[in-house]
Amino acid sequence: MQVIYLDILLIFNLYMNYLLLSFTARITHQRLVFWRALLSAILGSFSALIIILPELPVIISIAYKIITAMIICLLAFGKNNLFWSCLSFLGMSFLTAGAFIAVSMIGYTKIIKNNAFCYLDISLLQLVIFTIIAYIILHIVQYIHDRSHKINGIYDIIIRYGNDTAKLTGLADTGNALVDFYTGKPVIICDRNLLGEMAKPKHSHPVPYMTVAGSGMLEVFQPDEILILSEQGKSKSVDALIGIGEQENKKAIFNPKLLYY
């Protein structure tokens, strides 16, 4: 008879969901707010209770897993880049489950599988070792991922806000990891002198930032449309905020992830 302890089930899944959300944030270059991640992890933990139910049809189990992952990612990251967040979260969830199954097959731990969820009889030491190994693998995967999406070149950024339109020279820079705390959207930092009347938006809010030169607050606003044009003439509409700052190079600094998400 297989025995499942609910306290171990909930605590283990809470830990794993928070860990997977952290990995997802790193892979997708998104900011993960602690309280949102914690609430998402708690939700994911209780969703694992489906493992104690009688075995359900495979299609229902998978659909439940996908819907739960979407809700978890929506709560953790917001609707921005929801597809990629969910895809990354699910991908790492299945990889993690596969790793645990492989470990159980060689006798290091016991595993119970039901309704697309796993229950592990795992010690604290084994969990710590797994976490260290997972972080090493994550760094390798992230390095390969970022290298494969390395983007150079000159871009034009067209910003529309009300009746005003501005065209700026864009610079793709992974150093700009600024994300809005409220919406989870990335911020394109622009020089106020190049924005014209947009530098005085009707609705804006401050976002804290930190650089090697110091820290402070940056005023950001949501424009009606942002287009990024490459040298090859390709155009991409992106969902981001505009940060009003002082740029010495007079270029709009954006994170390259906007070009492939």
pLDDT in tens, the chain (261 residues): 467 777 778 888 888 888 888 888 877 767 677 888 899 999 988 988 888 888 888 899 889 989 999 999 999 888 777 888 899 888 888 888 777 777 677 665 677 777 777 777 766 677 777 778 777 776 776 666 666 555 666 789 999 998 999 999 988 887 788 888 777 788 999 988 889 888 889 889 998 887 666 678 899 999 999 999 887 777 888 889 999 988 777 789 998 878 766
> Dmax over Cα atoms in the chain, in whole Å?
72
Domain residue spans of the chain: 6-148, 155-259
Q: How far apart are CA 33 and CA 23, in angstroms?
A: 13
Instruction: Tell me how far apart the alpha carbons of residues 165 and 198 are, in angstroms, rounded to a whole number.
Output: 8
Which CB contacts under 8 angstroms, 24+ apart, belong to 202-206?
Answer: 202/162, 204/244
- Return d(Cα 90, Cα 112) in angstroms, integer: 19
**Length of the chain, please?**
261
- Round to whole Å and give the CA distance between 114 and 31: 33
Tokens of 6: 């609910």
**Which DSSP helix (H) or strand (E) runs through 216?**
strand 214-221
Decide: helix, strand or coil at residue 191. Answer: strand
Fold held by 155-259 = Cathepsin D, subunit A; domain 1 (2.40.70)
